[in-house]
Amino acid sequence: MADIIQLLPDHVANQIAAGEVVQRPASVVKELLENAIDAKATEITLFIKDAGKTLIQVTDNGVGMSTTDARLSFERHATSKIKSADDLFNLHTKGFRGEALASIAAIAHVELKTKTADEEIGTKICIEGSEVTLQEPTVAPTGTTISVKNLFYNIPARRNFLKSNTVETRHIIDEFHRVAMAHPSVAFKMMHNDTDVFNLPESNVRQRIVGIFGNKTNEKLVPVEEETEILKVNGFVLKPQFAKKGRGEQFFFVNNRFIKSSYLHHAVRSAFEGLIKDGTHPGYFLFLEVAPQSIDINIHPTKTEIKFDDEHAIYAMLRATIKHSLGQFSIAPVLDFNKDSGFDTPYEYSKRPPVAPTIEVDKNFNPFQKEANQRGYVQTAYKRERPSSWESLYIGLKAEGLETPSEVENIEFESEEVTGRLFDATNTNTTDKTTFQLQNKYIVCPIKSGMMVVHQHLAHQRIMYEELLKNMTVQEAVSQQLLFPLQFHFSTTDMEVLEKIKEQLEHTGFVFSAFHDTSIEVSGIPVVVSESQAGHILEQLIDDIKEEVPDAGFSQNDLLAKSMAKSMAVKSGTALNTEAQEHLINQLFACKEPSVSPDNRPVLITLDANDFDKKFS
């Protein structure tokens, strides 16, 4: 029998390795940015074109590479980070497997320009599909510039699996956020299709977070800081009132490396227990420092998961530290039974500046003269005869200016009409009711065959969904103008999302008076939306779009209508009077698909009268 096992060629092995290292353009961005950090760069510029599908370029002012190092960097398992197996347990750098550049070069056109500070000229290397096509000296500044062009050009199937430019750009921005936040001492700049997206100067952690997510984030942050023998924690958590249903602003960094950990997330979630609503998640930017020997960061191909030696101790310390910070900054409620509330400053005077009391002296005051007047008045009043008849009630009316009894009859008094009933007739007369509300969640209606039960929240979702979809299609929405425009603050990423769906939102009834870098002004809202709902609707819409951004067209309108209908629909637990219940039912059966919600959940169920007969048989 002939031998059937053979060694794979290097270019084939590199393409297989690229499947683990390079999943999408964001993976290339992550590897190149981390290499620039390891090269001790203080200024890093990222330039992408067509969401990274056409070009990804990273320029840094790091130490650069010699000609030999530049050539060896594209070989498999070539790295300057480790020299022995023991170094795997004492890592202080980012990339260490030595497969990043080799994997990228196997599936793209790569151009490298690099120069060290000691050399006068640099090195230029061009690689296509793992094959070096050019290596020559070149003029270049100190540092390294890597350009990755035509990603997945030789693997069409992988290229076809990439999402739209909007989705891929969002993933790139996410990776950029993670690297930029972990290294605030490094200046970062990002450009997309010749447009500046981020320009982050050298700063501290708080300024870096504010620079990424907008100025409004500053007032949401609560500092967290603690240091023990096995763990050092610092960073920020968001105040409980800013908890969201999505999980956007949640970042864990261990030794300046971004990680994902459901275990540590549960620790943060438990620290906020009782402070946030069910179904919402707190935001946090937490930086953990532990001994490199106590963690294993090589358990996942993307190195976003870490194994801790003592997870229980870290869980307890993280939870206690966040609780302490929330209490220290008066975020968590505190009960103090020994406190005397009599010494508290009233709320209406708490923000007023203290005013010095003034003393006024009446120089003409004569106590003896006043006493004589009072005594004379008393004597006069004592001698006055007290009328005992009912006519005494009219004494003095002429002096007040009421000369005729007709003027007395014209006096109007404010009083409520006495109906003789405790409740309105609409609430007490149950014989005329055709609908009933059960647990402020379901609407029960009698029908010919028995009974119908309607879920009020899902029913209103279906009503709002079809109405919004019609408005966006016909473009004839009605909006209510606001006397004072509403201003909302969002991050740069959120503003990009809003700008792309601005036209569709205007068709639903929103009117935008101004679009700034990190804020918008809303001067008009849909008729069915209240001012207090507008901000929540926009935030929920942004979160839903980030989860799944469809291409332009009907699918995008469908997603917008679903998200807005979910936010605008009447919530379960809301009490509805009989008129509102009947109006909801009538609107529901005027819809095209009254039996299912926009998410294909059942809106109503019917119970046959025979089923009741069986229960009582």
pLDDT digits (tens, 9 = 90+) for 98-120: 577 888 888 899 999 999 999 98
Residue 376: pLDDT over 50: no
| Mean pLDDT for the stretch of residues 46-62 | 92
Task: Tell me the per-residue pLDDT of 558-583, one tens digit each, with 9 for 90 and over.
Answer: 888 888 888 888 888 888 888 888 88
| pLDDT greater at residue 96 or residue 458 | 458
| pLDDT greater at residue 346 or residue 267 | 267
Res. 284 pLDDT band, cuts 50 70 90: very high
Residue 428: pLDDT over 80: no
pLDDT of 384: 47
**Torsion of the alpha carbons at 76, 82, 86 and 89, rounded to the nearest 10:** -100
| pLDDT greater at residue 278 or residue 42 | 42
pLDDT of 29: 92
Residue 301: pLDDT over 70: no
Residue 426: pLDDT over 50: no
Q: Distance between CA 491 and CA 605 in Å, rounded?
A: 43
Res. 354 pLDDT band, cuts 50 70 90: confident
Q: DSSP letter string over 123-142?
A: EEEEEETTEEEEEEEE---S
Mapped onto helix, strand or coil, the DSSP state of residue 449 is: coil
pLDDT of 488: 87
Residue 22: pLDDT over 90: no
Superfamily (CATH H level) for 437-605: MutL, C-terminal domain, regulatory subdomain (3.30.1370.100)
Structural contact between residues 572 and 566, judged by C-beta atoms closer than 8 angstroms: no
What does CATH list as the number for 10-200? 3.30.565.10
Task: Give the domain 205-328 fold.
Answer: Ribosomal Protein S5; domain 2 (3.30.230)
pLDDT of 330: 62
| Mean pLDDT for the stretch of residues 346-351 | 62
Task: Tell me the per-residue pLDDT of 484-539, one tens digit each, with 9 for 90 and over.
Answer: 888 888 887 788 888 888 888 888 888 888 888 778 899 988 887 888 888 888 88
Query: Rounded to whole angstroms, what are the CA distances from 551 to 163, 230, 303, 494, 557?
Result: 9, 48, 31, 17, 10
| Mean pLDDT for the stretch of residues 304-321 | 84
Query: In sequence order, what are the beta bridge partners of 292?
Result: none
Q: Which two tokens stand for residue 617?
A: 């048989």
Residue 382: pLDDT over 50: no
pLDDT of 357: 79
Residue 456: pLDDT over 60: yes
Q: Distance between CA 460 and CA 568 in Å, rounded?
A: 9
Res. 351 pLDDT band, cuts 50 70 90: low
How many Cα atoms occupy the beta-carbon half-sphere of 34 within 13 Å?
23
Task: Tell me the per-residue pLDDT of 595-604, one tens digit each, with 9 for 90 and over.
Answer: 898 888 899 9
pLDDT of 392: 61
- pLDDT above 70 as % of the chain: 77
pLDDT of 375: 47
pLDDT of 86: 56
Nearest residue to 609 (alpha-carbon basis) of 447, 477, 471: 447
pLDDT of 59: 94
Residue 333: pLDDT over 60: no
**Length of the chain, in residues:** 617
Res. 411 pLDDT band, cuts 50 70 90: low
Residue 418: pLDDT over 50: no
Output the CA torsion sign for 403, 405, 410, 415.
positive
Domain spans, the chain: 10-200, 205-328, 437-605
| pLDDT greater at residue 432 or residue 472 | 472
